[in-house]
Amino acid sequence: AKLAGRDAIRFFDPQMQAEVSRRAELDAGLWQALERQQFVLHYQPQILADGRVVAVEALVRWCHPERGMISPAEFIPLAEENGVIVPLGRWVLESACVQLAHWASDSARAELAIAVNVSARQFRHEHFVDELIEILGRTGAPPSRLEIELTESALLDDVESVVAKMDAMKAMGVRFSLDDFGTGYSSLAYLKRLPLDRLKIDKGFVCDILVDPNDAVIARMIIVLAENLGLQVLAEGVETEAQREFLVQQGCNAYQGYLFSRPLPVAELEAYFDRQQQV
């Protein structure tokens, strides 16, 4: 058996091996990256049907000293697995709240809200609500300008405890979006019991909305569902004017995507926002 094992390694393809070792290196480097403050938030505008920008989504990036800018699509799954997501997620919340407090004291940008992604593991952490309250208090960020984006996996827990947690935050004015909607498996009956404010249509449905009739039907169904549940609905990953028009016709309320802007460093986001205000 030992021989077979050693032989098996010879079949390992070198590219796959490089990927495995990159993963292992990033995995091991995450804690240190947090200590060395190598993470940064970029902000992507969210656009209402009338064209106004009233919120941005905070998206984390890792500025790696040797490997350059690393996408969260690569390191967030590792951080969720090894637990770094809890302190990293806390850092993201805190940084977003510092930014919110800063904008709130600036009359030209006081209306801007920030949506923050919160992982299932972070949301389920027993101190999550207390820490959020502490962060809001310490930074002075207005809770009504904070939106939390959760995925269905965060909510697949005992419904009473999920609702209690969300209600405690809602009482302060925090809002909730359900991210990547349509990719999970939660039942509609379950959804109805949650105090959500908004559904986000996953970009996977938006990208082929004009060419794949199934995606168009799913997007339309999510919009109708949101309407019936009294929720807002935002389409992410909107890249073309034709996609936006189709979604407008279906009754979508808000949009996000490269058609409007990529996620931007804070100074560029502020310049983008100020330009929009002058139009």
Residue ranges binding Ca ion (CB under 5 A): 117, 149, 179-180, 202
Which of residues 30, 179, 181, 218 is near ligand C2E by CB under 6 A? 179
Question: Which residues, numbered 66-85, are part of the site for ligand C2E (CB under 6 A)?
Answer: 71-73, 76
| Two tokens, residue 54 | 């009233």
- Cα(66)–Cα(233) distance, integer angstroms: 40
| Segment interacting with ligand C2E (CB under 6 A) among 26-34, 111-119, 140-148, 219-227 | 111-119
Which residue in the block uniquely carries the two structure tokens 């809890």? 86
Question: Which residues, numbered 196-225, are part of the site for ligand C2E (CB under 6 A)?
Answer: 203
> Cβ of residue 11: shortest distance to Ca ion, in angstroms?
33
Q: What angle do CA 140, 142, 146 make, to 5 degrees?
A: 120
> Cβ of residue 119: shortest distance to ligand C2E, in angstroms?
4
> Cβ of residue 148: shortest distance to ligand C2E, in angstroms?
10
* CA distance readout (Å), 232 to 132, 214, 258: 24, 22, 21
Asked if 84 and 34 count as a contact pair (C-beta separation under 8 A), the reply is yes
Q: Determine, following the binding rule CB under 6 A, whether residue 44 of this chain makes contact with ligand C2E.
A: yes
* CA distance readout (Å), 44 to 53, 65, 190, 236, 238: 10, 24, 30, 11, 12
Q: Helix (H, G, I), strand (E, B), or coil: what is residue 228?
A: helix
> Cβ of residue 22: shortest distance to ligand C2E, in angstroms?
17
Residues that bind ligand C2E (CB under 6 A): 44, 59-60, 71-73, 76, 89, 92, 117-119, 179-180, 203, 236-239, 256-258, 263
